[in-house]
């Protein structure tokens, strides 16, 4: 592709060298170590490296042009821009022929609930006969493809390549989780969304963001009227409301949903148990009666968000009802994975104080025996939430097994000690078993009639990260294997 076309729409401060007669670009790269003949190299500054110092290496490996934030002492053509992060999104979009412009893309952000809401939206769209793709924490799904993804929101080059392939395979709608990190790094630059959902805003990622305000402001970028046609926002969450205040004040279409405050979309829960929730949704005066095969008040919020989005996309109420009611489960999202006698075992991704509290509340309400929670906290992440998570579990459960999550480069016992600081303030009913497999084994043996076990923190993850190595580890598989060895039917 001609370089001029790749640079269309970019804010260019200056060029060092002439763009006239610039040769074809075969590949766009951000890693200077990769060989690529006729490559365009974009200099990105990360936490540990700065691509501006790697430009000469990129040229040696085939780069013919450099996108940079300052003039460099190198031999290739240089395109100087205010922000290479912002530029990369647009460059990637142009390089893959702007596939997002030919797709209807729904963006979903929030601390918790993104994955479940995305699957609920996709379920409705599929029932409406729309070819739909999903991009998120559980991977990338479209047609018969299921691709792993290390990131909730892929980097721009991978993201636009994926969107291009989706379009080539006949996908019409894409439901995409958009993380705060992705928004901070402008990964969705070059994408316009037909609708965006804001599920909630609670403590997380304070190892990266200096404050909750800055964390929220990153998420609020998704709702800029220039890229988001319709915003669908949790009206019961004051932080969410405040983040879209400017948009609401400007009169750009914004719908609120909730259970506790007057909103455009609300619900009445008519019946619930450990396996499902029956509710009546009112979506801008359109009524939906839904038998949701998901438990918990928080999943009613997710269903409200999905239904409100679907109405805005022109989907009829009967299809919305069918779509919401037909989703059996979402991998690792308060998912019942075993019923052992009269005891139940759930796996959940909950890894924040708010997420744990919502899941424990959902189970406690219908637990006839003891509610047991097995959990840990991730290493090299926000340490301030560890005692808060310990406090939540101590208050909401009858017993806890403290164990490892993804310890990364930290000692699991140090992480557990941080959890204990909060837990011990409210309860002494717990045991420490650092090895996660042994911890699950212990918890399964601990269960009695009518108990409920929540295995939290990892959800659908298929690995455990220890000292930079990802070892195969799936809570679902471990639970199933252990129960089989114990001779118990699932």
Q: What is the per-residue pLDDT for 423?
A: 98
Q: How many residues does the chain have?
A: 490
| Residues 168-219 pLDDT 10s | 999 999 999 999 999 999 999 999 999 999 999 999 999 999 999 999 999 9
Contact 10, 24 (CB under 8 A): no
Tell me if residue 394 falls in helix, strand or coil.
Answer: helix
Our CA angle for 452, 454, 455, nearest 5°, is 140
Q: What is the per-residue pLDDT for 174?
A: 98
Average pLDDT value for residue range 340-361: 97
Q: What is the per-residue pLDDT for 288?
A: 93
| Residues 382-406 pLDDT 10s | 999 999 999 999 999 999 999 999 9
Q: Give per-residue burial for 269-298: e unless 16+ CB within 10 Å, then b.
A: eeebebebbebebbbeeeebebebbbbbbb
Neighbours of 435 (CB within 10 A): 12
Q: What is the per-residue pLDDT for 490?
A: 66
- CA dihedral (310, 315, 318, 324) in degrees, to 10, reads -30
- Both structure tokens of 485: 């060895």
Q: What is the per-residue pLDDT for 21?
A: 64
Strands (DSSP E) contained in 120-160 are: 132-136, 139-142, 145-147
Tell me if residue 85 falls in helix, strand or coil.
Answer: helix
Identify the sign of the CA torsion 351, 175, 275, 258: positive
Mean predicted lDDT score pLDDT of the chain: 96
pLDDT value at 278 more than 90? yes
Q: What is the per-residue pLDDT for 248?
A: 76
Contact 102, 167 (CB under 8 A): yes
What does the alpha-carbon distance between residue 382 and residue 379 come to, in Å, rounded to a whole number?
8
pLDDT value at 380 more than 70? yes
Average pLDDT value for residue range 457-474: 97
Kindly report the three-state secondary structure assignment for every residue of the chain: CEHHHHCCCCCCCEEECCCCCCCECCEEECCCCCCCCCEEEECCECCCCEHHHHHHHHHHCCEEEEEECCCCCCCCEEEECCCHHHHHHHHHHHHCCCHHHHCEEEEEECCCCHHHHHHHHHHHHHHCCCCEEEEECCEEEECCEEECCCCCCCCHHHHHHHHHHHHHCCCCEEEEECCHHHHHCCCCCCCCECEEEECCCCCCCCCCCCCHHHHHHHHHHHHCCCCECCEEEECCCHHHHHHCHHHHHCCCCEEEEECCCCCCEEEEEEEECCCCEEEEEEECCEEEEEEECCCCHHHHHHHHHHHHHHHHCCCCHHHHHHHHHHCCCCCCCCEEEEEECCEEEEEECCCCHHHHHHHHHHHHCCCCCCEEEEECCCCCCCCCHHHHHHHHHHHHCCEEEECCCCCECCCHHHHHHHHHHHHCCCCCCEEECCCHHHHHHHHHHHCCCCCEEEEECCCCCCEEEECCEEEECCHHHHHHHHHHHCCCCC
- Both structure tokens of 1: 């592709």
The pTM of this model reads 0.96
Average pLDDT value for residue range 75-87: 96
- Both structure tokens of 217: 């402001």
| Residues 103-115 pLDDT 10s | 999 999 999 999 9
| Residues 244-267 pLDDT 10s | 887 877 889 999 999 999 999 999
- Both structure tokens of 203: 């403590």
Q: What is the per-residue pLDDT for 168?
A: 98
| Residues 153-162 pLDDT 10s | 999 999 999 9
Q: What is the per-residue pLDDT for 295?
A: 96
| Residues 433-460 pLDDT 10s | 999 999 999 999 999 999 999 999 999 9
- CA dihedral (343, 347, 351, 353) in degrees, to 10, reads -30
Average pLDDT value for residue range 79-102: 97
Q: What is the per-residue pLDDT for 23?
A: 78
| Residues 286-341 pLDDT 10s | 999 999 999 999 999 999 999 999 999 999 999 999 999 999 999 999 999 999 98
Q: What share of the chain is helix, strand, coil (3-state, %, to 5)?
A: 35, 25, 40
């Amino acid at each position: 592709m001609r370089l001029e076309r790749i640079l269309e729409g970019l804010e260019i401060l200056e060029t060092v060298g002439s763009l006239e007669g610039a040769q074809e670009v075969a590949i766009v790269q951000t890693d200077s170590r990769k060989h690529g003949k006729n490559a365009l190299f974009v200099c990105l500054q990360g936490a540990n490296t700065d691509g501006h110092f790697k430009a000469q290496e990129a040229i040696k490996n085939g780069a013919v042009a450099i996108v940079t934030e300052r003039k460099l002492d190198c031999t290739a053509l240089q395109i100087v821009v205010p922000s290479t992060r912002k530029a990369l999104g647009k460059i990637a979009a142009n390089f893959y022929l702007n596939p997002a412009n030919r797709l209807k893309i729904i963006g979903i952000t929030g601390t918790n609930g993104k994955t479940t809401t995305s699957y609920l939206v996709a379920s409705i769209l599929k029932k409406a006969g729309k070819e739909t793709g999903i991009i998120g924490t559980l991977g990338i799904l479209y047609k018969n493809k299921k691709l792993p993804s290390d990131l909730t929101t892929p980097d721009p080059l991978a993201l636009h390549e994926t969107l291009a392939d989706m379009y080539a395979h006949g996908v019409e709608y894409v439901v995409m989780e958009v993380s705060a990190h992705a928004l901070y790094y402008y990964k969705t630059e070059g994408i316009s969304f037909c609708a965006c959902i804001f599920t909630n805003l609670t403590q997380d990622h304070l190892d990266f963001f200096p404050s909750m305000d800055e964390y929220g402001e990153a998420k609020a970028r998704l709702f800029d009227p220039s890229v988001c046609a319709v915003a669908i926002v949790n009206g019961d969450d004051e932080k969410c409301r405040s983040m879209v205040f400017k948009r609401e004040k400007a009169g750009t279409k914004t719908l609120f949903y909730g259970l506790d405050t007057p909103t455009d979309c609300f619900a009445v829960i008519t019946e619930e148990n450990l396996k499902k929730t029956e509710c009546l949704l009112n979506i801008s005066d359109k009524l939906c009666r839904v038998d949701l095969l998901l438990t918990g008040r928080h999943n009613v919020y997710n269903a409200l968000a999905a239904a409100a989005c679907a109405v805005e996309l022109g989907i009829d109420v009967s299809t919305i009802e069918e779509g919401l009611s037909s989703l059996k489960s979402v991998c690792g999202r308060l998912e019942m994975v075993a019923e052992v006698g009269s005891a139940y075992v759930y796996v959940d991704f909950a890894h924040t104080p708010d997420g744990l509290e919502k899941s424990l509340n959902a189970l406690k309400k219908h637990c006839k025996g003891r509610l047991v929670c097995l959990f840990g906290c991730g290493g090299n992440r926000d340490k301030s939430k560890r005692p808060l998570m310990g406090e939540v579990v101590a208050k909401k459960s009858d017993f806890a097994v403290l164990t490892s999550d993804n310890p990364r480069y930290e000692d699991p016992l140090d992480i557990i000690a941080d959890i204990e600081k909060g837990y011990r303030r409210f309860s002494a009913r717990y045991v420490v078993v650092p090895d996660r497999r042994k911890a699950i084994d212990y918890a399964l043996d601990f269960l009695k009639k009518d108990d409920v076990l929540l295995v939290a923190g990892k959800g659908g993850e298929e690995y455990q990260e220890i000292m930079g190595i990802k070892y195969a580890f799936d809570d679902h598989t471990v639970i199933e294997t252990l129960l089989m060895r114990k001779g118990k039917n699932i």
